[in-house]
Amino acid sequence: MSRSPAKPLYVDGQWFEASGQNRIAVTNPTTEEVFAYVPRGSASDADRAVAAARAAQDAWGARPQAERVAAVESLHKALEARASQLTEAVVDDVGTPHRIADKLQTQLPLAAVRDFIGAADGIEEPVRFRNSRIHRSPVGVVAAITPWNYPLLQTIGKVVPALLSGSTVVLKPSEVAPLVPYVLAEAIHEAGLPPGVFNMVSGVGPEIGAALAGHPDVDMVSFTGSTAGGRAVAAAAARGIKRVALELGGKSAAIALPDADLERAVKATVSSCLLNSGQTCLAISRLLVPRERYAEAVELAAAIAARFTPGNPRESATKQGPLVSATQRDRVRGFIDRAVADGAAIATGGAAVPDGLDRGYFVRPTVIADADPGSEIAQEEVFGPVLVVLPYEGVDDAVRIANGTPYGLSGAVWGPDEDSAVSVARRLRSGQVDVNGGAFNSAAPFGGMKLSGTGREFGRLGLEEYYEVQSLQL
C-alpha cells in the first residue's frame, strides 16, 4: 500500500516541492511493497537549501547560547511526543524488530540529545592560557549526510551539535530509509527554530551529497556511510579545504582471552553481530578465541545464532528482521557464497532463503568457521548477520589479527578481570573497545581510526567538532 504521497523538501522554515518531478519509492523490507515516496531533489534544490542556511547563520550564531540550548530542549520535547511515530517509521523503513527499534532507534537518540545539552554547559566560555584568551565560534554551514541503518541516532549526532554550536544545517538523509528524518524535520518545525537554521533535501548521494560536499558555501561536511562514500565526500570537500568528519565502515573483533568466560563472550559477540540484522557499523563481526577452545566457541556461536530466527519485525518474538533492501540482501549472500568457495565452513545459517520467508529481504544468521584471517570474509565489512570465528595462538597473535584489517571502528576484549582486559584493549587500533561487556555510552566520543573515519561524534568531543577556535593574544 502507499501510505502517503511524495513528501516535499524542507527549506528556509517551510515545506516546498522539489524542482523536478522525479520521486524515490520507499519500500518496506518485510513485505517488499512500496508504501511511500519522497522527492528526488536536484543540485538546484541543494543550492536553495545552502543559501537559506548561509543567510540564517550569522543571526543564529549570534544568539546567546542559552537560547540555542532552549531551542534544542524544545526539539527534544517534540521528538518525545513523536516517539511511537519514530519507532513505527523505523520498523517499516529499516525492518528493525519493534522492541529493539523502540530502545535503540528511538530512546537512545533521545538520550543522546540530552547528553549533548549537558555537554554544551560551559563550552563557549573563554579560556585563558598565559597571555591568550581562547574563544569558540560556530563552524558555519554544515552539510550532514546520514545513513539508513540508524536514521535518527546518526542524524541527531550531526544536527544537534551543529545547532548547539550556532551553526546551521542542510541535511541529506539516506534515500534508502528516508522517513524518520521527515519526522525529525516536523519536530524541528514545531520547536520553532528560525527559518534557514535547519534544512532538508532528499535525493540520491551522487547528486545531492556530491552537490553539498563540494558547495562553496558549505563550511563543514559530516558524513556517515561506506568507506567508498567517505572517500568521495572527502575528495569533493578537499577542493574547498572544508572541515570533514567521517564515520565509516568497520570489521570489529572481539578477543576472548584464555581465562575469560567463553560462553558469556560468545553470547555477547553473537548478539552484537546480529543486532539490527548485522547492519550496525560497530557490530562485532569477528570472534577471536584461543585455538584450544576454538571448536567449543564455534559450537556455542552456532547454537546461539540459530536462536535468532528471522521473522516479521512486528511480531514480539522476532529477534532479527530483514535487511533493508534487495541490494543489501544480495550483497550479504554473495559474501557468504564466496566465503564457502574460499574454503570456509558454515557452522549455521548460509546463503539459502530462510524457511517460510520467500517474501522480504531476509538472510539467515550465519556463523562461519575455518576462514583465513586474510580472506575477504574476515577482512571486509559485510554489513549483515555474519560472524566469523577465528583461532589465535597467543595474546600477541590475537592483537595482530584484531588489528589486521583496514578498519578501526570498534572492538571488544573479554578477560578474567578488568585490568587484564584493559591492557589488551589499549593495544587495539580502534576508536572504542567494550571491556567485559561494557555498554554503549552516548555521552562518550564515537568514531574510528584508519579507514573507519576521522573526527568524533557524541559527547563533548563530538560537540567540539562544530566549533572554530580563535586565540586572542592580549
Residue-wise pLDDT for 356-400, tens only, equals 999 999 999 999 999 999 999 999 999 999 999 999 999 999 999
The mean per-residue pLDDT over the stretch 204-224 comes to 96
271 lies in the same domain as 411: yes
Q: Which one from 207, 247, 457, 465 is the annotated catalytic residue?
A: 247
242 lies in the same domain as 258: no
The mean per-residue pLDDT over the stretch 442-466 comes to 97
We report the CATH number of the domain holding residue 228 as 3.40.605.10
308 lies in the same domain as 400: yes
Q: Is the dihedral of CA 267, 273, 276, 280 positive or negative?
A: positive
Residue 3 in any domain: the answer is no
Annotated catalytic residue 273: no
Residue 332 in any domain: the answer is yes
The mean per-residue pLDDT over the stretch 31-36 comes to 96
Residue 4 in any domain: the answer is no
Q: How far apart are CA 75 and CA 78, in angstroms?
A: 5
70 lies in the same domain as 199: yes
Residue 285, pLDDT above cutoff 70: yes
**Cβ-based neighbours of 443, under 8 Å, separated by 6 or more:** 115, 118, 119, 458, 459, 460
**Cβ-based neighbours of 221, under 8 Å, separated by 6 or more:** 142, 143, 145, 212, 213, 233, 236, 237, 242, 243, 244, 245
Annotated catalytic residue 247: yes
Per the structure, the count of domains in the chain is 2
Residue 3, pLDDT above cutoff 70: no
Residue 33, pLDDT above cutoff 80: yes
Residue 398 in any domain: the answer is yes
Q: Which one from 281, 381, 457, 465 is the annotated catalytic residue?
A: 281
Specify the pLDDT at position 1.
Answer: 33
We report the CATH number of the domain holding residue 262 as 3.40.309.10
Structure-block grid coordinates of residue 414:
573479554
Query: What predicted TM-score, i.e. pTM, was given to this entire model?
Result: 0.96
154 lies in the same domain as 278: no
325 lies in the same domain as 418: yes
pLDDT-derived band at 2, boundaries 50, 70, 90: very low
Chain-wide mean pLDDT for the chain?
A: 96
Q: Encode pLDDT of 161-192 as tens digits.
A: 999 999 999 999 999 999 999 999 999 999 99
Residue 142, pLDDT above cutoff 90: yes
Share of the chain above pLDDT 70, in %: 99
Residue 1 in any domain: the answer is no
pLDDT-derived band at 63, boundaries 50, 70, 90: very high
Q: Encode pLDDT of 229-256 as tens digits.
A: 999 999 999 999 999 999 999 999 999 9
Query: Identity (one letter) of the amino acid at 286?
Result: R
From 75, 100, 79, 80, select the one nearest 90 (Cα to Cα). Answer: 100
Specify the pLDDT at position 412.
Answer: 98
Burial class (CB in 10 A: 0-12, 13-18, 19+), 417: exposed
From 155, 138, 11, 13, select the one nearest 68 (Cα to Cα). Answer: 138
199 lies in the same domain as 263: no
Residue 184 in any domain: the answer is yes
230 lies in the same domain as 261: no
Domain that holds residue 70: 9-248+452-473
Residue 291 in any domain: the answer is yes
Rg of the chain's alpha carbons, rounded to an integer? Answer: 22
30 lies in the same domain as 143: yes
Share of the chain above pLDDT 90, in %: 96
Structure-block grid coordinates of residue 83:
516517539
Q: How far apart are CA 185 and CA 167, in angstroms?
A: 17
pLDDT-derived band at 6, boundaries 50, 70, 90: low
433 lies in the same domain as 327: yes
Instruction: Kindly provide the residue ranges of all beta strands, DSSP E only, lying in 180-269, ordered along the sequence.
Output: 198-200, 220-224, 243-247, 252-256
Place of cell 536462536: 307
30 lies in the same domain as 88: yes
Structure-block grid coordinates of residue 115:
547528553
Residue 382 in any domain: the answer is yes
Specify the pLDDT at position 20.
Answer: 80
244 lies in the same domain as 258: no
